Amino acid sequence: MPGLERWTALPDFPDLLPGEDRSFGKGLFVDLIPQTSWFTNIRSAVEPRDWDRVRRMVYRRAGHRCEACGAAEDRARGLQMEAHERFTYDARAGIQRLVRLICLCHWCHTATHMGMAGVRGVQDEAMAHLMTVTGMSEAQAEEHIDEAFARWSAIPKSPGASTCP
């Protein structure tokens, strides 16, 4: 029936998206994004229906488990999975390229975006999670975070933008 076409199920996405490198960026690490990309992501660039299809594919292919720490989704305990985009950046050319989509639990995703964790006031929890998952000592985790912020600081900023990752 023509009136019901908008509710017709669309086909699933393939488990490997064109150009995706599933080996890129394995594990848990702090991955600050360039200032020009703050508050932008695939979800904000595509129709909600398409984003739902993409994120469901990411969760499905990961078996609804975090690809960094292995935690299983447990909504009763408030642990849900989130789709995270991993990009490469060419600061000289000003090019950002999507390389991989990964399924992360909420806390691994929070640790990955350590700058935002600081803004949200959950940096201590994110730091503790980073250390637990990676086995880093506090000094090693702090050094890792400092290196991530140093790499982020080296990326040219857009004029007049703030300095919070």
| CB 95, CB 111: distance < 8 Å | no
pTM of the model: 0.80
User: Residue 71 — very low, low, confident or very high, per pLDDT cuts 50/70/90?
Assistant: very high
Output the pLDDT for position 161.
39
- Max CA separation in the chain (angstroms): 63
Output the pLDDT for position 9.
65
pLDDT tens digits for range 2-22: 776 666 666 666 676 767 787
User: Residue 63 — very low, low, confident or very high, per pLDDT cuts 50/70/90?
Assistant: very high
Q: How many CB atoms lie within 10 A of CB 108?
A: 26
The pLDDT of 139-151, averaged and rounded, is: 91
For residue 87, what is the enclosing H or E element?
A: strand 81-90
Output the pLDDT for position 160.
41
